[in-house]
Structure 1
Amino acid sequence: MLHRNVLKYQKELKEKVKLACTEFTALDCRAFELVSGEGFLKMAQTIFDAGRCFRHLAQVNVNELIPSPITISRNVDRLYEDKKAELTKLCSSMRNYCIVCDFWTERFTGELPF
């Protein structure tokens, strides 16, 4: 029974991590492949070890929690739909609001992003 509870918790945690990675790539306009990079995995492992969510384990392998780039790419549309629904709900509850379009230059090329 305890083993089943641990597996359930790990599944829930993996879902949270998958969502966080999907949001990370979408919000920061990063490649889906970024989450499989050596530097990212080292950073994630360090953060995870600092948290020590699983105190009963000496070390947790972050590779088992981080979703693949394909998984993230499949979740971007769902994340978009979820955020769109949230924004629609928020806007529909407002009495007044204003939408402003902002143009900026891309920091790496110095060009507009379109």
Structure 2
Amino acid sequence: MTNWVFLALAIIAEVVATSSLKASEGFTRLMPSVIVILGYGVAFYLLGLALRTIPVGTAYAIWAGLGIVLVAAAGWLVFGQKLDAWGVAGMALIVSGVFVLNVLSKAGAH
């Protein structure tokens, strides 16, 4: 169970880092730039820990899928970026895919 917590924290760190990348304005602002570097470092370290028991394909699918949705949500909430119905539908399909992979598929370590 601990490795799933590592994966969840890795995803959160990656979302914070990616959102800060936008705020860093091309690494011209110091604090967001520091958050980017630290966030990605923490994210990859925690992903590495999670991969001790979670298959890499499963972990990366979850990482990428949830990362996309959470970064899009952060863009909407923090930066005022627009999401249209097709964007929301696409993200719902991504979340559905992560659900199928984790709950229904026998491909991952459960």
Q: TM-score, normalised to structure 1's length?
A: 0.33
Q: TM-score, normalised by structure 2?
A: 0.34
Structure number with greater Rg is 1
Q: Is the helix fraction higher in 1 or 2?
A: 2
